[in-house]
């Protein structure tokens, strides 16, 4: 799933004392792209060597978790019938556990087993075109979803129904955290990392200023910064319904599906941004809150002390609302 991007704000390579400067590279990944800007100095790897490390991690995640390649670990698991098990990479099991936690916290609003519904609506890897399915087809697909059908054993993932796992709602956030961990091991402590719109920053730029990212306004015609945040040791994720959707008979159908209805969300929440020390959790929470909508989502985030920023459609345009945790951390934020 491609999420709305968070705009990255950075001047071109800045020079500082001791030979420090900002290096950057990027490339395609997960049907989108990634980029890394980092403070290079004595002891940090050369850009080509660091890029090889990052590309290696991205390739590993793709081999394990991509639902778009039939030879991935998760695709092979998804083809298994009910009452089957398969030895899976530790990373996949970690994400399934994270999905279980998010599902339990939200009473099922978050679900990693929605692939049959995503395919049915035209958003999944086995989709046959975007379409509004019949109520009967939705009811049938809903019989093949549910976290309760997954069990984790000794290095194995098992299922008691023919469910299929789609990790796209948290895989990019997990990947950001994995890359960040590796950067620290290699002596890179100041960086701004973006993988398909999931962002993490740490340290300071050469002039001592913080890394800054902008929350993107929910527009499908152009990228417009709405609020600027200073990040250090935090991940940020934005989910929205304004990029990936289709229209039929004048009605808009979002790629964000509600597991409890089997259909796209219909509320007025246009986007929600979550900031958290774990980019994986920020990624999952932004999806979860997007499913819950402006009222239930805000109440959930407020109770759980989640730093979240909501943008809701109104008859007069857009209205924004930040949780207390978000305001405590960022105040009113900077103007773009």
Name the band, by pLDDT with cuts 50, 70 and 90, for residue 12.
very low
Residue 124 has pLDDT above 80, yes or no: no
- pLDDT number for residue 220: 53
How buried is residue 113: exposed, middle or buried, by Cβ count under 10 Å (0-12/13-18/19+)?
A: buried
- Residues 103-125, mean pLDDT to the nearest whole number: 91
Structure confidence at residue 225 (pLDDT): 59
- Assess if residue 175 is contained within a domain: no
pLDDT at 219: 59
Domain assignment of residue 72, yes or no: yes
Give the residue numbers spanning the domain of 160. Answer: 67-168
CATH number of the domain enclosing 160: 1.10.3980.10
Task: Say how many domains are in the chain.
Answer: 1
Percent over 70 (pLDDT), the chain: 88
pLDDT at 328 over 80: yes
285's torsion region: left (phi>0), alpha (psi -120 to 50) or beta? alpha
Specify the pLDDT at position 217: 66
Is 50 exceeded by the pLDDT of residue 195? yes
In the prediction, which pLDDT does 2 show? Answer: 42
End-to-end CA distance of the chain: 27
pLDDT reported for residue 41: 85
- Residue 79: the pLDDT is 96
CA distance 95 to 290: 19
Would 105 be classed as within a structural domain? yes
pLDDT at 156 over 80: yes
pLDDT computed for residue 17 by the predictor: 41
Residue range 256-270: average pLDDT?
Answer: 90
Higher pLDDT, 248 or 18: 248
- Alpha-carbon distances, residue 70 vs 33, 74, 81, 118, 122 (angstroms): 21, 9, 16, 17, 18
**275 domain residue, yes or no:** no
Strands 251-254 and 225-231, by their bridges, are unpaired
Which of the pair, 4 or 244, is modelled with greater confidence?
Answer: 244
Lowest mean pLDDT among 35-44, 179-188, 291-300: 35-44
Residue 133 has pLDDT above 70, yes or no: yes
Predicted confidence (pLDDT) at residue 18 exceeds the cutoff of 60? no
Question: Is the confidence at residue 1, as pLDDT, over 90?
Answer: no
Residue 160 is assigned to a structural domain of this protein = yes
pLDDT of residue 11: 36
pLDDT exceeds 90 at position 223: no
What confidence tens digit (pLDDT) does each residue in 79-103 have? 999 999 999 999 999 999 999 999 9
Residue 23 lies in a domain: no
Assigned domain for 186 exists: no
20-34, 230-244, 273-287, 311-325: least confident range:
230-244
pLDDT of residue 22: 93
Residue 140 lies in a domain: yes
pLDDT at 254: 82
DSSP labels, 163-175? -----HHHHHHHH
Average pLDDT, the chain: 88
Whether residue 4 is predicted with pLDDT greater than 60 in this model: the reply is no
Q: Over 70: is that where the pLDDT of 73 sits?
A: yes
Exposure class string for 174-185: b at 16+ Cβ within 10 A, else e: bbbbbbbeebee
Q: What is the pLDDT of residue 243?
A: 60
Residues 6+ apart with CB under 8 A from 130: 121, 122, 123, 246, 248, 253
The arithmetic mean of pLDDT across residues 219-235, rounded, is 76
| 247 or 297: which leads in pLDDT | 297
Asked if residue 278 has pLDDT above 90, the reply is yes
């Amino acid at each position: 799933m491609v999420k709305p991007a968070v705009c990255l704000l950075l001047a071109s390579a800045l020079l500082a004392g001791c030979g420090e400067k900002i290096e950057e590279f990027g490339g395609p990944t997960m049907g989108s792209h990634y980029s890394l800007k980092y403070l290079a100095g004595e002891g940090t790897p050369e850009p080509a060597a660091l890029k090889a490390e990052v590309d290696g991690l991205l390739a590993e995640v793709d081999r394990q978790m991509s639902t778009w390649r039939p030879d991935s670990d998760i695709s092979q698991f998804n083809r298994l019938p009910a009452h089957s098990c398969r030895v899976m990479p530790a990373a996949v099991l970690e994400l399934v556990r994270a999905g279980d936690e998010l599902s339990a916290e939200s009473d099922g609003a978050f679900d990693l087993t929605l692939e049959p519904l995503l395919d049915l609506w035209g958003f999944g890897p086995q989709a046959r075109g975007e379409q509004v399915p019949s109520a009967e087809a939705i009811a049938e697909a809903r019989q093949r979803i549910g976290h309760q059908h997954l069990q984790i054993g000794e290095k194995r993932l098992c299922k008691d129904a023919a469910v299929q796992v789609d990790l796209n709602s948290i895989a990019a956030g997990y990947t950001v955290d994995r890359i960040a961990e590796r950067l620290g091991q290699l002596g890179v402590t100041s960086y701004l990392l973006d993988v398909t719109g999931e962002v993490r920053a740490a340290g300071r730029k050469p002039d001592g200023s913080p890394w800054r990212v902008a929350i993107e306004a929910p527009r499908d015609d152009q990228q417009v910064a709405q609020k600027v945040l200073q990040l250090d040791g935090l991940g940020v994720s934005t989910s929205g319904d304004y990029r990936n959707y289709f229209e039929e008979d004048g009605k808009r159908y979002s790629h964000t599906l509600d597991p409890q209805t089997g259909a796209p969300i219909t509320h007025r929440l246009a986007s929600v941004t979550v900031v958290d020390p774990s980019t994986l959790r920020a990624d999952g929470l932004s999806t979860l809150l997007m499913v819950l909508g402006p009222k239930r989502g805000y109440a959930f985030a407020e109770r759980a002390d989640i730093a979240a920023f909501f943008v809701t459609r109104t008859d007069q345009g857009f209205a924004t609302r930040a949780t207390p945790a978000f305001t405590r951390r960022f105040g009113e934020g900077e103007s773009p």
